[in-house]
Amino acid sequence: MPMPALLMLADEAAYRAHFEATYCRGPIVTFDGIAVRFRKRDFGHCCFESDRRTRLKAYFSSKRAERLDWIQAALQDPGADLRVGWDNSRKRYDYDRRVAIVSGNYVVVISLLANKKSAEFVTAYLADSGETVQLIKKAPKWRKAQK
């Protein structure tokens, strides 16, 4: 499925307004029926990057912001490569996290809630390094009826 055109807005405030209008007014339903909720604070997870030293997401990334509309497209793409997420703190796979890879290297992560019919948005990013995508693709395939 082709991704939407890059979003070219004036500044960070315009991207934030677009994010809130598109994602924070109600859930986005995935192709397989999971209602994904977004919070205003999630803007930072998908539109800011960290420096490698501090790991704090302190830098607005136009590269990420231009792809805001790709989040919905990825969630609703039945052809997305779906994988089980990784829990870095526990150093194991987390079957309540779903990672969608589209367009070869665009990644969207959601966290399923207890009912498995709804989820929260975690993050989205362009995986610039082939190593990142290879690492994600080592994860087990995600299936709706898991766990």
Q: How far apart are CA 12 and CA 60, in angstroms?
A: 7
Number of domains in the chain: 1
Is the residue at 145 inside a domain?
A: no
Instruction: Tell me 133's DSSP state.
Output: H
Contact at 8 Å (CB) between 41 and 2?
A: no
Is the residue at 119 inside a domain?
A: yes
Domain hosting residue 61, numbered range: 12-137
Is the residue at 4 inside a domain?
A: no
Is the residue at 127 inside a domain?
A: yes
What is the DSSP code string of 52-68? TTT--EEEE-HHHHTTH
Is the residue at 23 inside a domain?
A: yes
For every one of its 147 residues, what pLDDT tens digit does the chain have, with 9 covering 90 and above?
789 999 999 999 999 999 999 999 999 999 999 999 999 999 998 999 887 655 666 789 999 999 999 999 999 999 999 999 998 889 999 999 999 999 989 999 999 999 889 999 999 999 987 788 999 999 999 986 554
Is the residue at 122 inside a domain?
A: yes
Is the residue at 30 inside a domain?
A: yes
Is the residue at 147 inside a domain?
A: no
Q: How far apart are CA 132 and CA 88, in angstroms?
A: 14
